[in-house]
Structure 1
Amino acid sequence: MHLLDDEGRVIVLRGASVGEDAKFAANYGSAVRAPELRRMRDELGMNAVRMLTFWEAVEPSCGDYDDGYIARFVERVREARRLGLEVVVDFHQDLFGAGFGMAGAPHWAAPDDFYRRARRRRPWMAGYLELGVMRAFDHFWRSEELKARYAAAVGRVVSELAREGVCFYELWNEPFWGTGTPYSLEREVLPSFYERVTAAVFAADPGTRVGLAGAVHTNIGMSTALAVRDRSRAVY
């Protein structure tokens, strides 16, 4: 199966992930704007960008959306689309979120004690070995309330982007299994989680696609146990 455009032609994406700097910016903004995107297109031959957004930026307080941030992010997507670039919107996380020194889930999505007990490690990805980080993921995956809040936040962003022609929405970057195993996460947690978030996306933008990722171990070529019931508009 392939990505197809409105005329049924195969889409081959050649691009890069942009907005790494947004993880650490005070307003979650990126310095990659229209001039940089134009050079990526004209000088590097790219036709797509993956734009990072973060739950903590969208919903800094439980139930309180930052409409200013959402509007700024939508404008960044529009800049890319005006240049003819395909856009993949990535709902991003690293090390769960800002409480552990990176970006992703808002601080309120895990108990304070988890943050206090976690040390900052180098390289940063070694932080996944911290028990506080593991427990934060456990807490999220087990909480129906938090997963519902996340799906609602994703739907809120998608509702503002529904007319912008986003190629697809990546629902969660690099899912981590906490104190469980990658295969238990893929078999027992991710299918229902993805169904919930997919429903929120399609309610806001019925014609779009969703990007589904296996657990983060698949980044190094290991196999996945992830299975989803409806793959008709899913990208893996």
Structure 2
Amino acid sequence: MRLTTLLLTAVLGTGLLAAPPPAATARPTAASAGTTSRAVDAPRARPHGRWLLDPRGRVLVLHGLNMVYKRAPYAPDAEGFGRDDARFLARNGFTTVRLGLVWKAVEPGPGEYDDAYLARIRRTTQHLAHEGIWTLLDFHQDLFNERFQGEGAPDWAVQDDALPAAPRAGFPANYFGMPALNRAFDHFWADDPGPGGVGLQDRYAAAWAHVASYFAGTPRVLGLDVFNEPWPGSQWEQCTNPAGCPVFDATLESFTQRVIDAVRAVDRRTAVFYEPQVLFNSGSPTYVRPRGRRLGFSFHDYCLTADAGAGESGVQQACGQADDLVWSNAAAHVDASGDAPLLTEFGATDQSATLTAMVDRAAEHRTGWQYWAYCGCDDPTTTGPGATQALVLDPAKPPRGANVDHSKMRAIVVPHPLAVAGTPASYHFDRDNRVFEAAWSTARAGGPGRFAAASRTRIAVPRLVYPRGYDVRVTGGRVVSGPDARTLVVSQAAGTREVRVVVRPH
């Protein structure tokens, strides 16, 4: 989740707008039987250069949300997230969910994994997969542990040298003012030995390997997000400058590589997404560049003044320059690393101008996104009331009527490509006139050659945008879906090198 007002105060003063995993045991559960067999590996999406490709080699343009439940038992179904929520997302053109797991629930005791918990998470991914939704599994943390008013690490992994967990100012203030919290991060980044003399990072990497093995046969797992918003610990002030913090990034890169290597020992197919240190969200660049195939770059963008009370026009102006810096840093990193970008958090605000600007910015960069967050869900590490971040107020109730924030829906539900049989050149939604335009080359983004005649591209055309239907003009292909279908399907013509589509309201 985002760092807002206090981060603004902290940053403005600076001028900035592996080892193999140890053996472990799992709690014996019937749910875990057969889940790690290589024979049941499910088809996977894969990063290729700056694109994410579906199993047919088409470019995926993902729009979706985060669903993370940060209270015990740390499973979204405990808050009521289920089949009706998955259907609601699919009906509105969303095709991905970043689904939170919490290390404390995965590994409640050192080397002891709770497969009953993983089975609950897996049932949620199955509901999503049934609706065609890709799941990014995220090891989520904010403020490291409940001792520091957050969530994430097991109690046995907390080493704070018995410093008092004070002052207790909540999220995000504790990052800046609680020495015990920063000491706990320091011990983690140093891979200091924990129970049994095993390094804390070794335990973490082994836990990820267990999760990766467990989900190897689960359909529509998009990838594994290594560590949510890494906080540098006591080194954080070094990161609050336009040059970033290469010293800490070297530590973060080593840790990230350790997790990737542990995952690859059990699963060579599922994409692994890694994150920069959290101050990247506000304009600090990153130097983290792990090695390996099928890697994705998971980054966040939060406007520091989104809820500062400046009014929508003032917010829009204040956020533009800061967001430009985040996206410029992301583009530079993607060019240097060759890893596929995905904006895995933004939002957590009810300022429509901020949301529409970010959705439109992502389209300009041809990059998918996951809005924060699906619900308030008694979130202990957010800013303001939980409803500020929520698209659906209560997942235990049907997602309709007053239970849905319709202003957020209008901001983030837009027409967009879903799966492109080629390489996207551009796509844009004119909100004033409700006109959507897209163009793509028929050249394969994932290798040499072109897609054959009759190859199909799918485009989300939400009824929220076109309640009375739409008209389509296609150059280089033809429409093969039914009139006013929620998903527009375009079949490309023989010999064409580029396809163009224009969608207008009736």
Normalising by the residue count of structure 1, what TM-score does the alignment of the two structures yield? 0.91
Contact 2:276 2:286 in 1 (8 A): yes
Contact 1:120 1:127 in 2 (8 A): yes
- Which position in structure 2 is the counterpart of 1:233? 294
Query: How much has 1:179 moved relative to structure 2?
Result: 0.9
Q: Report whether the alignment pairs 1:125 with 2:187.
A: no
Contact 1:114 1:136 in 2 (8 A): no
Q: Matched residue pairs, number?
A: 229
- Which position in structure 2 is the counterpart of 1:193? 255
- Which position in structure 1 is the counterpart of 2:140? 92
Give the SS at the match of 2:224.
Answer: strand
Aligned partners of 1:155 and 1:79: how far apart in 2?
Answer: 24
Query: How much has 1:121 moved relative to structure 2?
Result: 1.0
Equivalent position to 1:171, from 226, 234, 237? 226
Query: How much has 1:234 moved relative to structure 2?
Result: 1.1
Query: How much has 1:99 moved relative to structure 2?
Result: 2.2
Query: How much has 1:227 moved relative to structure 2?
Result: 2.2
Query: How much has 1:159 moved relative to structure 2?
Result: 1.1
Structure with more of its chain in helix, by fraction: 1
- Which position in structure 1 is the counterpart of 2:87? 38
Q: Deviations over 1:24-61 (max 9, x none)?
A: 1x31121221111210110x210110000011010111
- Which position in structure 1 is the counterpart of 2:74? 28
Aligned partners of 1:77 and 1:131: how far apart in 2?
Answer: 38
Aligned partners of 2:54 and 2:114: how far apart in 1?
Answer: 32
Aligned partners of 2:101 and 2:185: how far apart in 1?
Answer: 19
Equivalent position to 1:150, from 183, 195, 204? 204
Sequence identity percentage: 38
Q: Deviations over 1:175-210 (max 9, x none)?
A: 111111341221x21121111111122222211111
Aligned partners of 2:136 and 2:163: how far apart in 1?
Answer: 31
Query: How much has 1:101 moved relative to structure 2?
Result: 2.0
Aligned partners of 1:185 and 1:96: how far apart in 2?
Answer: 18
Q: Report whether the alignment pairs 1:205 with 2:257.
A: no
Q: Deviations over 1:102-128 (max 9, x none)?
A: 211111112365574333214x11111
Name stretches of at least 5 consecutive residues in structure 2 with no aligned partner: 1-49, 193-198, 240-244, 298-506
Q: Report whether the alignment pairs 1:221 with 2:267.
A: no
Q: Given residue 168 of structure 1, which amino acid in structure 2 is its aligned partner? A: G
Q: Given residue 233 of structure 1, which amino acid in structure 2 is its aligned partner? A: R
Which has the greater radius of gyration?
2
Contact 2:144 2:150 in 1 (8 A): yes
Aligned partners of 1:99 and 1:77: how far apart in 2?
Answer: 30
Structure with more of its chain in strand, by fraction: 2
Contact 1:175 1:214 in 2 (8 A): yes
Give the SS at the match of 1:204.
Answer: coil
Q: Report whether the alignment pairs 1:80 with 2:128.
A: yes
Contact 1:91 1:173 in 2 (8 A): yes
CA RMSD of aligned residues (A): 1.6
Name stretches of at least 5 consecutive residues in structure 1 with no aligned partner: none
Aligned partners of 1:207 and 1:116: how far apart in 2?
Answer: 44
Q: Deviations over 1:115-146 (max 9, x none)?
A: 74333214x11111111111100010112511
Contact 1:90 1:169 in 2 (8 A): yes
Contact 1:4 1:10 in 2 (8 A): yes
Equivalent position to 1:18, from 62, 67, 84? 67
Q: Report whether the alignment pairs 1:52 with 2:114.
A: no
Query: How much has 1:162 moved relative to structure 2?
Result: 0.5
Contact 2:212 2:263 in 1 (8 A): yes
Give the SS at the match of 1:88.
Answer: strand
Aligned partners of 1:218 and 1:17: how far apart in 2?
Answer: 19
Give the SS at the match of 2:135.
Answer: strand
Aligned partners of 2:295 and 2:271: how far apart in 1?
Answer: 6
Contact 2:160 2:181 in 1 (8 A): no
Q: Deviations over 1:140-169 (max 9, x none)?
A: 011251100001111111111101131111
Note closer, same or farther for the CA distance 1:64–1:118 as it changes in structure 2 (3 Å cut): farther
- Which position in structure 2 is the counterpart of 1:2? 51
Q: Given residue 281 of structure 2, which amino acid in structure 1 is its aligned partner? A: N
Give the SS at the match of 2:81.
Answer: coil
